[in-house]
Structure formats: C-alpha cells, structure tokens
C-alpha cells in the first residue's frame, strides 16, 4: 500500500476538524497547517512527497521558532493546530509520535500571551445600528431580493447586538428555535453546549418584519416552517430555495453595513464579534453585575467577563475627570 504523505495526512486531519469544530476554527487550523508545511519545506521535507512516518516532534519545534515573528496569541492558536495534527498522527498510528516530548518541546519554546483588554468602537456600533434602523427602503427601485437583504441585515445586526450570539450561532438559527411568546431561543453554542438566549423587543420586531416579507418564499419552499433557517440567502445562487446564510455571509453583512453607515475608511474596524463585545458591555453598563453578564454572554469563566468591566465603569471616567481636568481648569 502506498505510504501516506505529510500533505495527505494534513488534509485528513483538517477533515476531522471540519466535522467537530466551527468554520472559523477550521479556517484558522488550515492557515496554521499551511504555514507548518512551508516550514517543513524550509527544512528540506517536501510535504507532497515525504512519507508522514518521517515526521518527528522536532518539526513542531521548527514551527515554534518560525512563529516568533507573529503575535503571542497567533502563536498559541497555530501551535494548537500543530499539536492537533501530531495527536491525529498518533491516534491513527500514521507515525511514531512521542506526545509527552512534543508538549515539552513546545512548552520550552512558547511565549505566554499577555492578557489584552478587549477594545472596540462602541459609539460606531451604535451609529451602525441607528443607520440600519432608520434606513429608508425605496421599493420603487429595489428588486425583491435587495429589499429582503436590507430587512434581513437589519434583523441580523439587531440580533447580534441584543443577544450576544456568536456569528456562527446566529447563522445556524432556525425559525423553530425561537419561542416568540417568551422571546427566547435554545442554541447549541461554543463547546457544543446548549444554552438559552434572550431576544430584545427591537430584535424580535425586526425578525418578524423580515419573516413577514419572506412569507411567500417560505410558503413555497415545501418544507415545514420551523425547519427553515432564520436568516436566509437572497441571491441568484439561492434562487427560489430557502438556504441558510453562512458565517462568511454574516461577516459580509457587517462589512457592507459598516461601510454604508461610517464610510469606506471604517471597513475592518467592526466585525461580527464586535457586536458581542457591545452586548457584554451594555449589560455591564446597565447593571454593574458581573455574574449576570457572564451568564447572559455564556462565558465559561467570570475572568473573561471581568476583562470587559473596565469598559463599562463610567464612574471611573467621571472620577478621573473630577480629579485631573477640573483641577487644571481652576
């Protein structure tokens, strides 16, 4: 039987990641292992032709050295992908891998990322939400798909801002997931954990408007309404079928509406995850309750929520102003 090459083993490993992890994780791992194969080539191991049996733990240390030009956070992510590959090789018995030695080598070479406080343009996000809320849809010069996209995007952004859903969680929602009377939905979130998410009045109203405009399309789908995606595609590729949007579409929705609301120069400054930051800090600014914010954001550790507290403490801002600014003006 022909020997498995390193490149083929990497492909097979990424296939297992695709089955078990999110699209974002699959993309990051793909980028990491692509770099890993480039590192191997620099050390005279051609991934396309070298049998995977020749791969040893030393290759992981080469990867760690190559990652020193990246940020510590990226280093951690890419090394996690590298470890996943070696664990896959060991589990599938494709190579003789000494996992304890692998982890020791990486521990000796890996930097610890400093804890960075989350930063995001809160006021700009509010401008984007104000823009989509007050955008006048001119039906006279809009196609049906364009009108549906505009209503959908408004509902999508309100959902991100007012629920704290991650972009892939929002994209995976079905109509039947929402309890309209209670204003809640049960979602399968990060780590395959089930959780309850609450919806605001404005997000529910925007969703109802969108689904009402979509009624004919949904009714002609031939499928039970609860099984249909909450956010659907409205483009030529979808045709008359009701297909769910992807996380890529979710990111494109944010990018497009940010450019419209704030200008081209704002492109890339706000991402779907920025709306999750906005949600957490909104809860903290209104309540000052870390435990409440942790539960609503579904953070595994309250230490993660704690990182947002500095963004919500208006009293500190006011106190600083009282001490320094007023004193200097007097």
pLDDT in tens, 2-35: 569 999 999 999 999 888 777 778 889 999 999 9
Q: What is the mean pLDDT of residues 59-68?
A: 92
- Segment among 56-65, 80-89, 132-141, 312-321 with least mean pLDDT: 312-321
The helix/strand/coil state of 91 is helix
Contacts of 70 (CB under 8 A, 6+ apart): 78
- Residue 306 is classified by DSSP as H
Cα–Cα distance measured from residue 172 to residue 210, given in angstroms and rounded to the nearest whole number: 17
pLDDT value at residue 215: 94
Query: What are the C-alpha distances in Å from 33 to residues 27, 108, 141, 167, 182?
Result: 10, 21, 47, 24, 45
Whether the model pTM is above 0.75:
no
For residues 135-169, b (16+ Cβ closer than 10 Å) or e, as one string? eeeeeeeeeeeeebbbbbbbbbbbbbbbbbbbbbb
Total number of residues shown for the chain: 330
Q: Which CATH architecture has domain 122-314?
A: Orthogonal Bundle (1.10)
pLDDT value at residue 307: 75
Burial class (CB in 10 A: 0-12, 13-18, 19+), 83: middle
pLDDT value at residue 1: 40
In a 13 Å sphere around the CA of 89, the CA atoms on its Cβ side amount to 28
Contacts of 195 (CB under 8 A, 6+ apart): 186, 187, 189, 298
Confirm if 280 and 290 have CB atoms less than 8 A apart.
no
Q: What are the sequence ranges of the domains in the chain?
A: 6-109, 122-314
pLDDT value at residue 309: 72
Q: What is the mean pLDDT of residues 205-233?
A: 95
Q: What is the mean pLDDT of residues 75-79?
A: 90
Confirm if 79 and 31 have CB atoms less than 8 A apart.
no
pLDDT value at residue 117: 52
pLDDT value at residue 138: 53
For residues 44-54, b (16+ Cβ closer than 10 Å) or e, as one string? ebebeebebee
Are 6-109 and 122-314 equal in CATH topology?
Answer: no
Neighbours of 33 (CB within 10 A): 25
CATH topology of domain 6-109: DNA polymerase; domain 1 (1.10.150)
pLDDT in tens, 134-162: 876 555 556 888 889 999 999 999 999 99
- The pLDDT > 90 percentage for the chain reads 57
Indicate if the pLDDT at residue 52 is higher than 80: yes
């Amino acid at each position: 039987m022909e020997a498995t090459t390193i490149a083929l083993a990497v492909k097979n490993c990424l296939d297992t990641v695709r089955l078990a992890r999110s699209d974002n994780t699959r993309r990051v791992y793909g980028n990491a292992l692509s770099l890993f194969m480039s590192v191997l080539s620099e050390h005279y191991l051609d991934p396309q032709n070298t049998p995977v049996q020749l791969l040893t733990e030393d290759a992981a240390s080469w990867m760690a050295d190559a990652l020193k030009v990246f940020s510590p956070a990226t280093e951690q992510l890419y090394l996690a992908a590298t470890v996943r590959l070696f664990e896959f090789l060991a589990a599938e018995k494709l190579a003789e891998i000494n996992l304890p030695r692998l982890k020791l080598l990486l521990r000796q070479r890996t930097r610890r990322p400093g804890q960075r406080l989350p930063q995001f343009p809160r006021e700009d996000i509010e401008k984007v939400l104000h823009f989509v809320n007050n955008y006048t849809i001119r039906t006279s010069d809009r196609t049906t798909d364009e009108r549906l996209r505009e209503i959908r995007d408004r509902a999508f952004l309100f959902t991100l801002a007012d629920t704290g859903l991650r972009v892939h969680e929002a994209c995976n929602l079905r109509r039947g997931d929402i309890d309209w009377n209670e204003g809640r939905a049960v979602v399968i979130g990060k780590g395959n954990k089930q959780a309850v998410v609450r919806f605001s009045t404005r997000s529910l109203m925007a969703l109802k408007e969108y689904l009402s405009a979509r009624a004919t399309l949904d009714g002609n789908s031939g499928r039970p309404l609860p099984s249909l995606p909450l956010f659907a595609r409205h483009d030529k590729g979808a045709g008359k079928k009701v297909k769910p949007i992807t996380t890529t579409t979710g990111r494109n929705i944010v990018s497009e509406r940010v450019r419209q609301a704030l200008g081209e120069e704002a492109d890339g400054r706000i991402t779907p995850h920025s709306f999750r930051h906005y949600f957490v800090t909104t809860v903290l600014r209104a309540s000052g309750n870390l435990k409440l914010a942790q539960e609503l954001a579904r953070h595994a550790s309250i230490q993660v929520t704690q990182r947002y507290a500095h963004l919500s403490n208006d009293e500190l801002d006011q106190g600083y102003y009282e001490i320094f600014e007023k004193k200097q003006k007097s």
